[in-house]
Amino acid sequence: MEFVELSKTEFDQFALTHPLNNFWQTSNMAAMREQKGFKTYYVGVKDEQGTILGGSMLSALTVFAGRDLIQALRGPLLDFQDQDLVRFFHEHLLSFLKEKKCLYFHMDPYIPYVEHDLDGNVVEGGFDNRAVVALLKSLGYQHEGFTRGIDLSREPRWIYTVPLKGKTPEELMEQFERKTMRSVKKALKYNVQVEELDRDHLYIYENVLKQTSERRGFEGRDDAYHQQLYDAFHKDGYIKFLNAKLDLDDYKKDLNQDLQQQEAIVKTSKARLEKQESPKIRKKMELAMQQVSQLHEKLQQADQMIEEDGQVLNLASGIFFTYGREVLCLMSGVYEKYMRFAAPYAMHWEMMNYCLEHGMERYNLYGMSGYFDESAEDYGVYLFKKGFQGEVVELIGDFEYIVDAKRYRLYQFLRNIKHKLHK
């Protein structure tokens, strides 16, 4: 085996077919980070025939005394079950890092730790990658721990995915919880349209996210970040900014159709009750009358929305990566006053079908806190994702390797002083 620097083209071709591929480990992400001052290296291991066995995109940023923090974002791309390959990669990577004046190295491999059920419990007899963590520790890596919660300085350690391999849209729909299935069908019934936004219309997404972040109490990314994402990934077809919208004229047509049906039930029921009393028919008529009343109210609300907000409403928006084996929803938001239209379900259903059409393995609803009780801050988000009946995935976590121990101790000492001064 040989440890080498790879060309960008070599790395991209290798990464796209690797089982652990992800959008962080791409030259697209490298280009985006270079705009922020990072340097990029592509490294790999080749066999005697020149076949790439493993590799990584590395991002480097000078942080202290001319020394760099070097990161393998959601990498490296290795077969972590092959201990000889992992050791060889590490030993030669370490020499490379020293040559590049690395202060410390950070990585968070995109592999699961142990198997969990939908309630977050460990599945006895399920897959188990504890040995991978033990191997990395034996090589000198410091593990940041089996963390839970939301840390905005790190990518989430807990994610939620929906396996799709071999499924049809009908089979997928049938696996959803009843509430989720109803919500998807409601969005389809209301004819919620999902469109892709071009760069000039990213403000539609940004407006939705700003309102969502204010409501949920988190600080979102700035507009420049979204434009950089678009510029880095869109040219290769690896990202979609989606917007779910509703034409209220279409919505009113659907309501009027339902109204006619319910009024017909009332009329027919009354005629039958005049001939003969029937508790069953009377109950049916009363339910239909309730529906008639609710539909009139919805029609009035629709007219009010047209008057206040216009005929076409933007309901929800999101960022979806379409790279490699999965579609990943990085972030999405919805206007609170339009939640009744179930627009987020329309976007997720659209992109799940995109996965199926393009032969992708899974749909990734992305981050969770890893807490599964009702007191958890993100419990509502967890329940939303759980409704799709997918999988709770715990990743192995973040690792650091201190390359220059003496300078690192000084770096940490000065950081601690700075932190105390800013308290």
45-61 pLDDT, tens digit each: 999 999 999 999 999 99
pLDDT of 222 reads 83
Q: Which two tokens stand for residue 287?
A: 């339910």
Global pTM value: 0.93
Q: Which two tokens stand for residue 68?
A: 């760099």
Q: What is the band of 304 on the pLDDT scale with cuts at 50, 70, 90? A: very high
The arithmetic mean of pLDDT across residues 366-395, rounded, is 95
What distance separates the 2 farthest-apart alpha carbons in the chain?
Answer: 96
pLDDT: which is higher, 209 or 152: 209
Q: What is the C-alpha separation between 395 and 140, in angstroms, rounded?
A: 20
Q: What is the band of 86 on the pLDDT scale with cuts at 50, 70, 90? A: very high
Q: Give the chain's mean pLDDT.
A: 95
Q: What is the C-alpha separation between 326 and 347, in angstroms, rounded?
A: 15
Q: What is the C-alpha separation between 10 and 362, in angstroms, rounded?
A: 26
Q: What is the C-alpha separation between 241 and 234, in angstroms, rounded?
A: 9
The arithmetic mean of pLDDT across residues 53-81, rounded, is 97
The arithmetic mean of pLDDT across residues 100-110, rounded, is 98
Tell me, what amino acid is at 164? L
Q: What is the band of 418 on the pLDDT scale with cuts at 50, 70, 90? A: confident
16-47 pLDDT, tens digit each: 999 999 999 999 999 999 999 999 999 999 99
Q: What is the band of 216 on the pLDDT scale with cuts at 50, 70, 90? A: confident
- Asked if pLDDT for residue 416 goes beyond 90, the answer is no
Tell me, what amino acid is at 171? E
The arithmetic mean of pLDDT across residues 413-421, rounded, is 79
Q: What is the band of 173 on the pLDDT scale with cuts at 50, 70, 90? A: very high
Q: Can you tell me whether residue 295 is helix, strand or coil?
A: helix
Q: What is the C-alpha separation between 51 and 220, in angstroms, rounded?
A: 42
Q: What is the C-alpha separation between 20 and 5, in angstroms, rounded?
A: 20
Q: What does 130-158 look like in DSSP terms, one character per residue?
A: HHHHHHHHHTTPEE--S--S--TTS--SE
Residues 230, 202: contact at Cβ < 8 Å?
A: yes
What are the backbone angles phi and psi of residue 263, rounded to the nearest 5°?
-65, -35
Contacts of 229 (CB under 8 A, 6+ apart): 32, 239, 319
User: How many angstroms separate the Cα of 82 from the Cα of each of 42, 46, 78, 308?
Assistant: 21, 14, 8, 62
The total of other beta-carbon atoms located within 10 Å of residue 389's CB is 16
- Asked if pLDDT for residue 421 goes beyond 80, the answer is no
Burial class (CB in 10 A: 0-12, 13-18, 19+), 268: middle
The total of other beta-carbon atoms located within 10 Å of residue 53's CB is 18
The arithmetic mean of pLDDT across residues 104-125, rounded, is 97
pLDDT of 221 reads 79
Q: What is the band of 422 on the pLDDT scale with cuts at 50, 70, 90? A: low
The arithmetic mean of pLDDT across residues 337-365, rounded, is 97
Q: What is the band of 226 on the pLDDT scale with cuts at 50, 70, 90? A: very high
- Asked if pLDDT for residue 219 goes beyond 80, the answer is no
Residues 190, 341: contact at Cβ < 8 Å?
A: yes
The total of other beta-carbon atoms located within 10 Å of residue 67's CB is 19
Axis-axis angle for helices 178-189, 343-357 (nearest 10): 90
Q: What is the C-alpha separation between 317 and 70, in angstroms, rounded?
A: 33
- Asked if pLDDT for residue 168 goes beyond 90, the answer is yes
Q: Which two tokens stand for residue 344?
A: 């987020």
Q: What is the C-alpha separation between 79 and 261, in angstroms, rounded?
A: 59
- Asked if pLDDT for residue 420 goes beyond 70, the answer is no
Share of the chain above pLDDT 90, in %: 91
Strand runs (DSSP E) across 184-309, as ranges?
193-196, 239-247
The arithmetic mean of pLDDT across residues 177-196, rounded, is 96
pLDDT of 213 reads 82
Q: What is the C-alpha separation between 202 and 234, in angstroms, rounded?
A: 13
Starting from the edge strand earliest in sequence, which strands make up the sheet with 391-395, in order? 112-115, 391-395, 158-163, 362-368, 326-334, 312-321, 239-247, 193-196
Q: What is the band of 309 on the pLDDT scale with cuts at 50, 70, 90? A: very high
Burial 395-413 (b: 16+ CB within 10 A, else e): bbbbbbbbbbeebbeebee
Length of the chain: 423
247-274 pLDDT, tens digit each: 999 999 999 999 999 999 999 999 999 8
